[in-house]
Structure 1
Amino acid sequence: MRVSSLRTALPATLVALSLALAGCGGDDSKPKSDDSKPSASPTPEVPATWPLTGLEAKDGQSVALDHPVIVTKIDNSPNSAPQIGLSKADLVVEELVEGGITRLAAFYYSQLPGDIGPVRSMRASDIGIVSPVKGVITTSGAAGVTISRINGAHIKFFQEGGPGFYRNNSRHAPYNLFTSLQKIAKATEDGKDARPADYLPWGTEADFTGGVPAATIRASFGGSHATNWTFQGGKYVNTNSNAAQGDRFQPDTVLVLRVKIGDAGYRDPAGNFVPESHFVGKGKAQVFHNGQVVEGTWSKDKLSSPVTLATADGTALKVPAGKVWIELVPVDANRGSVTYGK
Structure 2
Amino acid sequence: MRQMARMRRGAMTAALLAAAVTGSLMTGCTVGGGVDDGRGHSPGASPSATRTDVAGPTPRPASAGSVLAVKIDNVRDARPQTGLEAADIVYAEQVEGGLSRLMAVYATKLPKVVGPVRSARESDLELLRQFDEPTLAFSGAQHRLLPLIDEAPLHAHPPGEESDDAYYRGDQKPSPHNLYLRPRQLVAKAPGAAALTTGFRFGPAPAGGSREASRTVRFPSATFTFTWSASRAGWLVDMDGTRTVTTDARTVAPPTVVVQYVKIRESRFHDVLGNNTPFTETVGSGTAKVLRDGRVFEANWERPGAADGTEFTTPNGAPMNFAKGQVWVVFAKA
Could you say whether these structures have the same fold, taking a TM-score greater than 0.5 normalized by the shorter chain as the test? Answer: yes
Contact persistence 2:107–2:196 (CA under 8 A): no
Q: Is the 8 A contact 2:67 2:196 kept in 1?
A: no
Match of 1:165 in 2: 167
Aligned length: 262
1:256 match: 259
Conserved? CA contact 1:85–1:247, under 8 Å: no
Q: Distance in 2 between matches of 1:177 and 1:118?
A: 5
For 1:203 and 1:272, locate their aligned partners in 2 and report how far apart those are by CA, in whole Å: 39
Matches of 1:203 and 1:82, distance apart in 2: 29
CA drift of 1:318 comes to 2.4
Return 5+ residue gaps in structure 1 as ranges.
Answer: 1-63, 332-342
Q: Secondary structure at the match of 1:132?
A: coil
What displacement does 1:255 show? 0.7
How far did residue 108 of structure 1 move?
Answer: 0.9
Q: CA deviation at 1:197?
A: 4.6
Secondary structure at 1:127 match in 2? helix
Higher mean alpha-carbon deviation, 78-87 vs 244-253, is at 244-253
Q: What's 1:126 paired with?
A: 124
Match of 1:286 in 2: 289
Q: Which structure 2 residues correspond to residues 212-227 of structure 1 after superposition, within 5 A?
A: 212-222=210-220, 224-227=221-224
Partner secondary structure for residue 108 of structure 2:
coil
Using the aligned pairs only, state the percent identity. Answer: 28
2:179 corresponds in structure 1 to 177
Matches for 1:89-100 after TM superposition, within 5 Å: 89-100=87-98
Q: Which runs of 5+ in 2 are unaligned?
A: 1-62
Partner of 1:247: 250
Q: Tell me how far 1:313 sits from its aligned partner.
A: 2.6
2:67 to 56, 69, 73: 69
* Cα offset, 1:314, TM superposition: 2.6
Task: State the SS of the aligned residue for 1:133.
Answer: coil
TM-score normalized by the length of structure 2: 0.73
Letter in 2 for 1:235: G
Asked which structure has the greater CA Rg, the reply is 1
Within 5 Å, which residues of 2 pair with 1:1-342?
A: 68-134=66-132, 135-161=134-160, 162=163, 163-186=165-188, 195-205=194-204, 207-222=205-220, 224-232=221-229, 233=231, 234-239=233-238, 240-242=242-244, 243-244=246-247, 246-331=249-334
Residues 234, 255 of structure 2: 8 Å contact kept: yes
Q: Give 4+ residue runs of structure 1 displaced > 4 Å after superposition.
A: none
Could you report, residue by residue, the CA deviation over 1:20-57 in whole angstroms, capped at 9, with x for unpaired residues? xxxxxxxxxxxxxxxxxxxxxxxxxxxxxxxxxxxxxx
Mapped to 1, the partners of 2:192 and 2:98 lie a distance apart of 40
Q: Return the offset for 1:270.
A: 1.6
Give the SS at the match of 1:265: strand
Instruction: Say what the alpha-carbon RMSD is for the aligned residues.
Output: 2.2
1:212–1:324 distance in 2 versus 1, CA, 3 Å: same
Normalised by the size of structure 1, how large is the TM-score? 0.72
**1:264 CA displacement:** 2.4
